Amino acid sequence: MKQIAALLAGLALACACLAPTATAGPRGAAPTSCKTVDAAQTARSAWFHTTVYRFHLLARWCWQGPSITTATVSCYASDVDSLGFTYNGCTMVSSWYYRWGGSPKGGYFAEAQGSFSNCVLKVGCVGNHYPTLKIWLNAGGGWTTEPATKGASNGS
């Protein structure tokens, strides 16, 4: 019986050693966390109220304690109405870290602008659209956009 108890205690110890830990980095440091957000601005047809394009800002950032350690932001388009609109690409207008939560790198701001042409067969291009999205990220995992976006997806 003592041998079985010793064997079970050894197995419990082995299992405890294999359990994942929440900390990454130096001993006693705060755990690193990451988040991904896909925010979108939707343009609709004035006549039919159908979606003519969606302009996205995709942000992924990681933080440790009160500071953002990495931040990447990119832009892309989806649901482009191929009968009347062409996506010409996007430009990252600006990005920087800002003071938040007592840390000089506690927040991150990015702004992107898309370019869409509205061209009609046999008429030609009748206009250009330049949607702009701004996003603020923080080391607590919070975020907000301007204009405010509905249905933005959160990942981890």
Q: Which residues contact 25 (CB under 8 A, 6 or more apart)?
A: 32, 64
**Amino acid identity at 99:** R
Instruction: Compute the distance between CA of residue 95 and CA of residue 135 in angstroms, rounded to an integer.
Output: 9
pTM of the model: 0.73
The pLDDT score that the predictor gives to residue 15 is 28
- How many C-beta neighbours within 10 Å does residue 5 have? 9
* pLDDT per residue as tens, the chain (156 positions): 444 334 333 333 222 222 222 334 455 566 789 999 999 999 998 888 899 999 999 999 999 999 999 999 999 999 999 888 999 999 988 999 999 999 999 999 999 999 999 988 778 888 899 999 999 999 999 999 998 665 455 444
Instruction: Compute the distance between CA of residue 92 and CA of residue 75 in angstroms, rounded to an integer.
Output: 8
**Contacts within 8 Å (CB) and 24+ apart, 128-132:** 129/43, 129/53, 129/85, 131/41, 131/43, 131/55, 132/93
